[in-house]
Structure 1
Amino acid sequence: MKTLIFFGSARKEGNTKEMVNIFIDELQGDVEVIDAYRSTISPCIDCRYCWYKKGCSIKDDMQSIYKKIDEADNIVFASPMYFYNVPSPLKIIIDRLQVYWAGVLRKDRPELGAKKGAILMCGGARPFKNQFIAGEIVLKAVLKDLSAECLGIVTSSYTDKFPVSQNEDIKNLIRDLAKKINTTLI
């Protein structure tokens, strides 16, 4: 089993990384983390190349990421929320995943459920209604376009005051989600 994790945090050792580490500790198989902040990826230019050919006209780090996505059994997004959504380096990657959405136009998109997916999100602010809703909408849609069924979402609020490393409830939710990825058959 291969798991590909998209890590969207500027902080190499912050709360999002803690969530990823806890998740990885429970996973079986091979794991690779794509660090959005430390990748060289250009934004989508809406050239529509991918509408007609499976691939992207821009030649950068995304070329190897596409291959890793295709080979992965599981896709996970882990990100802090900046103004209700993922930070811009991760959003650039998401926009470049248009290649997979365009499979609908090319008529070569795999059915939903070919892969398993999960989402980990954290925010430093106190909890409030709909704190993670925009990120959830975007990331669930992306998983669907990658033909991955979202098996769960773990969110952690107020991490500026209560870090993930000190929150046993959140840590257990993360562990349970990783175990679900390990055992759920699609």
Structure 2
Amino acid sequence: MRPAVPAIAALFALAACSGESEPPAPVLDEAAVIAASVPVAQAFQGDLKAQLQAALEAGGPVEAVSVCQQVAPAIAQAQSEASGAEVSRIAARHRNPAGGVPEELAQAYAALEAAPLADGKPAVQIVRTGDGAGAKVHFLSAIPMQDQPCSVCHGTSIEPALRAHIDQLYPGDLATGFKPGELRGALLVSWNAERFLK
């Protein structure tokens, strides 16, 4: 009977060793996500704002809406290709149905709606979705409603001619009636999660 004691002890030792050898689960480096995403978001917003301001000066709000419809997707595509991320805009009250809020990001978007600003800057949410090689990490940056020039096309008082033009370009438009400070949408920068695991 005695020889069984060392054998049992050896089994416990092996079990302990096997437990210790399991690698820790990878952790998402949120600081790295923010560092990579903020310049992409800023470049998108800066480019779009410059083109919209030029359109407003050249042809007024009607021209600005037309330019926004054409150039915003092109800017998102250019930023996607330059960064390696997927860049887009999403909104619960969207102008384009393709820019609705995905179900897996609804909770994060609701948090931005509740508090669009953090320390005077657009609030941010980070969400990880999926598993394995298909896992994604999403950086959402709030787009708070600004009084000017945004209220011209997204505010509570839209000129009839502009309203008709918006309806022509975006049937079923939901992106009006915003007050300054409210969440108008979010800039979405999505990456392969493996890049940020450590």
Same-fold call, TM cutoff 0.5: no
More helix by share: 2
Instruction: Point out the structure with max Rg over C-alpha.
Output: 2
What range describes the TM-score normalised by the shorter chain of this pair?
under 0.3
